[in-house]
Structure 1
Amino acid sequence: MFLSRLFLVLSPLLSRAAAYHKLSDETLKQLPRPGAEFDIKNGALLAPILRPRVSGTEGNVAVRQHFVDFFRNNLPEWTLEFHNSTSPTPTSNGKEVPFVNLILTRDPPGTHVGDVGRLTMVAHYDSKLTPKGFIGATDSAAPCAMLMHMAKTIDAALTKRWKASGSGLDDLDGPKGVQILLLDGEEAFKSWTDTDSLYGSRALAEDWEYSFHPAMSTYRNPLDAISLFVLLDLLGSKNPTVPSYFKTTHWAYKNMADIEARLRKLGLFKSSPNHPANMAKRKNKKPRREPNFLTEADKKDGSFLGGGIEDDHVPFMARGVDILHIIPSPFPKVWHELIDDGEHLDMNTVEDWTVLVAAFVAEWMELDEFFDFKAGKREEKVKAETVHEQGKTEFEIP
């Protein structure tokens, strides 16, 4: 992303908003938090991402392997694909640098490619070349870990829902699935330009534009099958404020903002000054104003000026995909600084974003009655014991 450069891109006038079924308070209360899995030193999900991972380097490959191992060992129902491209960069002396996007998809069983509309959740996993040793905890290690946790949170409920509903074929808007894009090459190698940035997303959007589904499919190509493209970036610093950038997807922003408001009202946001743990530390127990993450739920139609922050959504938006961009403005103070590391993450904020993202996806997929939190805890215990006994299963990646 680049703060000072704004773009104007035409987007479809009509959103693809579908019928929405809210999660119950009880489900919101029981949605799992990442806890120890997000420990910055030893956490199973976050810690392996907190390292330099510049595109084309060993660190980049190691982090990609971490994603692959997680899904292969824990979520085998998700289809994993690699999208490969190469490009010279301003610092590669004419050599081609590899960029590898990971595409993780969970569609209803028995459905055909081209007939499933997907909620597409996105983050980039590469880190910036400079300054040397840059980690990029908010940019975007933490968002990647949030998507991993989200997938684990909803996986069993998706299976149960599709088993109960005949593979989702009873959805009024057609079968719907979930897709995760972990994109490579977002960062500029030298300075942000149209050609030195967004390497992976530019290549993927271009390829998908011409990857046509079979004749008579509901959706013409993979881009057309994206119901909503939700991009997470720069998340993990304290007190973020995220505007609503696009009029066409303000309805989705409002849905996420409503979930945030409900989580806060239920006392489930650990970063809130009114969370019971934080209230207990204060002499004055009177409730304080809630510092919402999503600050523009009441934004009026005439307030949308048509611009935005350049990021991985741009190549997709230029091709007509609806975008919900979850990125703070102003950027966090750690942006592109060496201090954007694990120690400077606000873990309460990270956990709150994680639960909010999972709740948004669960609500979109209408999973409220299909969670079995007790069974989930038992399965987690069995999986942990199995992995400990058998060791990690390797899966070769490009």
Structure 2
Amino acid sequence: MTAVLGLVLAAGAMTAQAQDIFNGAKALDYTRQFVAIGPRWNGSPGHAKAEAFLKKQFAHDQLEEDTFTANTAVGPQLMHNFIVRFPGKKKGVIVLATHYETNYPLRNINFVGANDGGATTGLLIELANYLRGHEQDGYSVWLVFFDGEEAVKSWSDSDSLYGSKHLADKWKADGTLPQIKAFLLADMIGDKDLDICRDHNSTQWVLDVVEKAAEHFGYQSYFFQQESMIEDDHLPFVRKGVPVADVIDLDYGYNNSYHHTAEDTMDKLSAKSLTISGDVFLETIHLLDQR
């Protein structure tokens, strides 16, 4: 009797641990719609369609279009960040961010960036469905869609991260940065073979919160088995003292063979990976609200 009861309790605990709260299938569908636009490098017709797609998704929310001119390696380019604000009851902000454009140097190979920019755009659009329509009990949550993450000519400190550099400077100037309790960046986490890296440029305590959120669902095997020092849209905020976590899967295909190739397509993604990622982001917000 005791043994049977123990098995029943164990099974119940496993069921509770594995219960999903985020709809990865819907996030994948948003991704599919977005990626169907095609290449969306800066200045292209696809980029204009991507902007219109984002504006349509958030037409009834607190949406800000942050338009600026970036001095790039190939000359001035007009770029557009998008910020969507969901107010909370506590003073302070949690930022969830991604980039949405595709790589300019790959504009002639039909690079659609399904995982690299597409999947995390779909992820954040679906996350908005959990935030919309009510005041957050904790901190305000802002979704940010960065433009200009990719290099325009060749990756370097001066030729990359145009949108995040601009917004970090803008938010420093207007006093927004001190309000940010944590900055969470999502990148390339729709990969079917999900393996999120521990980034040594991120803030240790924020990574610890993400790890605790993963453990809540029994997802820890998908997180932090590999380590690296990553250059991504979180760096301009790191340099200004904002607590950050870059949640990124850098191992995309065997020996990263799909990254920045025409093989970065929808068939490489899964609803399961987006469910795992979405669950962990929502639980991370919950844990940050309790700090």
What is the TM-score with the length of structure 1 in the denominator? 0.61
Q: Deviations over 1:23-71 (max 9, x none)?
A: xx86973624142x345xxx3x222321211122221121122122112
Secondary structure of the structure 2 residue equivalent to 1:152: helix
Secondary structure of the structure 1 residue equivalent to 2:199: coil
Name the % identity. 24
CA apart distance, 1:185: 0.5
Q: Is the 8 A contact 1:80 1:104 kept in 2?
A: yes
Counterpart in 1 of 2:23? Answer: 33
Q: Is the 8 A contact 2:27 2:123 kept in 1?
A: no
Q: Which runs of 5+ in 2 are unaligned?
A: 1-14
1:194-343 mapped onto 2 (5 Å cutoff):
194-211=157-174, 221-246=175-200, 249-264=203-218, 292-295=221-224, 308-330=229-251, 332=253, 333=256, 334-343=258-267
| Residue type at the aligned position of 1:355 | D
Quote the Cα distance in structure 1 between the aligned partners of 2:18 and 2:177. 31
Counterpart in 1 of 2:70? Answer: 87
CA apart distance, 1:328: 2.4
Counterpart in 1 of 2:126? Answer: 149
1:335-354 mapped onto 2 (5 Å cutoff):
335-354=259-278
Q: Deviations over 1:235-261 (max 9, x none)?
A: 122333333334873333233223323
Quote the Cα distance in structure 1 between the aligned partners of 2:216 and 2:141. 24
1:150-189 mapped onto 2 (5 Å cutoff):
150-156=127-133, 158-159=134-135, 162=137, 176-189=139-152
- Pair member with larger Rg: 1
Counterpart in 2 of 1:387? Answer: none
1:65 aligns with 2:82: no
Secondary structure of the structure 1 residue equivalent to 2:104: coil
Quote the Cα distance in structure 2 between the aligned partners of 1:89 and 1:251. 34
Normalized per residue, which structure has more strand? 2
Normalized per residue, which structure has more helix? 2
Q: Is the 8 A contact 1:49 1:141 kept in 2?
A: yes
Q: Deviations over 1:184-241 (max 9, x none)?
A: 0011121112222111111111222211xxxxxxxxx111111111111121223333
- Evaluate the alpha carbon distance shift between residue 236 and residue 203 of structure 1 in structure 2; reply closer, same or farther with a 3 A threshold: same
Counterpart in 1 of 2:11? Answer: none
Higher-RCO chain (CA-CA 8 Å, sequence separation at least 6): 1
| Residue type at the aligned position of 1:46 | T
Q: Is the 8 A contact 1:154 1:362 kept in 2?
A: no
Quote the Cα distance in structure 2 between the aligned partners of 1:180 and 1:47. 20
Q: Which runs of 5+ in 1 are unaligned?
A: 1-24, 163-167, 169-175, 212-220, 270-290, 367-398
